Chains A and B, each alone.
Chain A
Amino acid sequence: MEELLRIMSEVRPDIDFEHETKLIDNEMLDSLDIVAIVTDVNDEFDVEINVNDLLPENFNSAEALYDLIKKLQYE
């Protein structure tokens, strides 16, 4: 989780990823942020986030994204 928070903060140092829960719904992130985060996550966690995973519910919070990563690693 710490690693994920580091990745996300590098992309958007202004956002409090530990507590924010509406990253997509409130349009806090944009497309370039998503690409940057997904690219780094794929590299660091050795997963492949799929286009079908690209849903607001997977990206609204760091915790939701962490759950997705764990799910992908398990598969």
Chain B
Amino acid sequence: MIRNVLEYLEASAEKHPDKTALQDENEALTYREYVTRARTIATYLATHETRGLRNRPVAVIIDRNIRSITAFIGVVYSGNFYVPIDHTMPEERIRLIYDTLQPVAVLDARTDTRKPIEGAVSMEDMLAGEIDEELLGQIRQGAIDTDPLYSIFTSGSTGVPKGVVVCHRSVIDLVEAFADAFGFDDKMVHGNQAPFDFDVSVKDIYNAMRNGATVVVVPKKLFMLPKLLLEFLAQYRINTMIWAVSALRIVSDFKALDAVEEVPDIRYIMFSGEVMPVKALNYWMDKVPGPLYVNLYGPTEITCNCTYFVVEGKQDEWKMLPIGKPFNNTRILLLDEKREKPVTKAGEVGEICVAGTSLALGYWNNPEKTRDAFFQDPTITAYPSTVYGTGDMAYYDEKGDLIFASRRDFQIKHMGHRIELGEIEVALNAIPFIETSCCLYDEARGKIVCFYQSQSEDTRAIVKLLGEKLPKYMWPNIFKRYDKLPMNKNSKIDRVKLKEEIQK
């Protein structure tokens, strides 16, 4: 029985020790080297930093490099769990994450360390030591499959990001379900697009680890230069793309496949993060007809994805692409507004609630938010059984596929990120010259619209102050100043009226 993801790594290393496991622009590691590096890092960590502690958070400062992945796995070998941190985020947000997390150690996996980070351990220091086999053996002996593997921070409505904690068993469940559904093998070369603090990357790291495949980290700047991006895919023989919708759109929006002589030889194109426009998908399918195209759906809290839809043939442009059916070992319930009863009629909209091994353990150090989102399955009363409420509303079509309808709350999906509009409002309201504010999403145009009440108008000053607290993808795109924002009967900002403003 598999109870730890490291068993996948060790089995793959035994089978193909000299095969390339990880590659980026600067270096490549074989499976043997991958294991050796991770175990060296783990020995350093367990000896100098975590010293006998188990299941504690270790922050890893990430970069678009394979050192970040070896650092993650080093943390796992030390018996703890890793938390990827992007240090290009605003300082204020990083501080909030550290305040919540209280990491036992901080590892710096960046390639460019010209701006050192106080208190962080460098890769060079960690890799300088030896492996203590006995120590690592003892740590593994005590491991169980519900031990946390990683935590990824997502937007929180009160202004404080939430750390979703995911255990080994959930990731094992994920990669086994993917293998069942799509027949993955060791010939796969994953072109990793997603940043490591984004859970789309979890699918590259652990599917490849299970299958003895290869992960190639695609440099970030290529996503601005789609033609060079396609040439890179061909050069590194990348055949698997598990990408954010936005990254695939860079190629289709610019019709980059028309501009290259040879289209890359791809086997799998899987996408998630937001609704895939059928027009963009049809362009891909037209130019690259070979691969299996899969629409994946799910939030970080259920370990990447809970449903999938295999796209067979070109789709009707006026129809919405279904999010499909649940993976093996996952159950979907559509619950009514009160989360009390499942909706029963075909075509009726309900909230997507998920049950199964894929459920995250909860939010780190946040029992209240955990209880709100992870609750008792209302159809089961005789024993404890948890479901996760995604906040996404959906219905079944005539073929029994799920179709996304809308959001239940003020969370939005923008540039591939789940964003709580409330978190933006908290940051806006903290600005001295803003009296009050309200953010809405203009879905048609994909823009966050900020309505604020102030006696002075200075968009640049607002953005500068927001930039100290919020990552770029959370900044409003349009600002509208009011002397007085419209109020409703309950003396709350009249969101309905403001929404109408947008639709005009």
Contacts and interface: CB of A to CB of B under 8 A. Distances in A.
User: Are A and B co-members of a single complex?
Assistant: yes
Contact of B478 (A10, A27, A32, A39): A10
B424 to A, nearest CB: 13
Nearest to A32: B415
Nearest to B230: A51
Given A13-B477, A51-B254, A51-B258, A34 B224 contact: yes
A69 interface: no
A28 B377 CA distance: 47
Interface in B412-447: 415, 446-447
Contacts of B473: 32
Interface in B186-240: 220-221, 223-227
B463 interface: yes
Interface string A24-55: 10010111101110110000000001111010
B221 A13 contact: no
B480 to A, nearest CB: 12
Contacts of B225: 54
A30 B254 contact: no
Contacts of A11: 477
A31 B224 contact: yes
- The listed residue with most B CB atoms (<10 A of its CB), out of A12, A30, A31, is A31
Contacts of A32: 246, 415, 473
B478 A51 contact: no
A26 B246 CA distance: 22
A29 B460 CA distance: 17
Nearest to B247: A31
A13 B479 contact: yes
Nearest to B450: A13
A3 interface: no
Contacts of A14: 460, 463-464, 467, 475
- The listed residue with most B CB atoms (<10 A of its CB), out of A27, A32, A38, is A32
Contacts of A29: 224
Contacts of A38: 253-254
A67 B249 CA distance: 25
B250 interface: yes
Contacts of A34: 224, 250
Contact of B227 (A13, A24, A27, A51): A51
Contacts of B464: 14
A27 B460 CA distance: 20
A39 B472 CA distance: 19
A13 B463 contact: yes
Given A51-B226, A51-B227, A13 B460 contact: yes
B459 interface: yes
A27 B221 contact: yes
Contacts of B460: 13-14, 16
A13 B463 CA distance: 6
B117 interface: no
A16 to B, nearest CB: 8
Nearest to A14: B463
B89 interface: no
B259 interface: yes
Interface string B473-494: 1011111000000000000000
Contacts of A13: 459-460, 462-463, 475-477, 479
B253 A52 contact: no
B246 A10 contact: no
Contacts of A39: 253
B256 interface: yes
Given A13-B463, A35-B250, A39-B253, A30 B224 contact: yes
Given A10-B477, A10-B478, A51-B258, A35 B253 contact: yes
Interface of B: 220-221, 223-227, 246-247, 249-250, 253-256, 258-259, 415, 446-447, 459-460, 462-464, 467, 472-473, 475-479
16 contacts: A11-B477, A12-B472, A13-B477, A14-B460, A14-B467, A16-B460, A30-B220, A31-B223, A31-B224, A31-B246, A31-B247, A35-B246, A35-B249, A38-B253, A51-B226, A51-B259
Smallest CB-CB A-B distances: 7 pairs: A31-B223, A51-B254, A13-B463, A14-B463, A51-B256, A51-B259, A31-B224
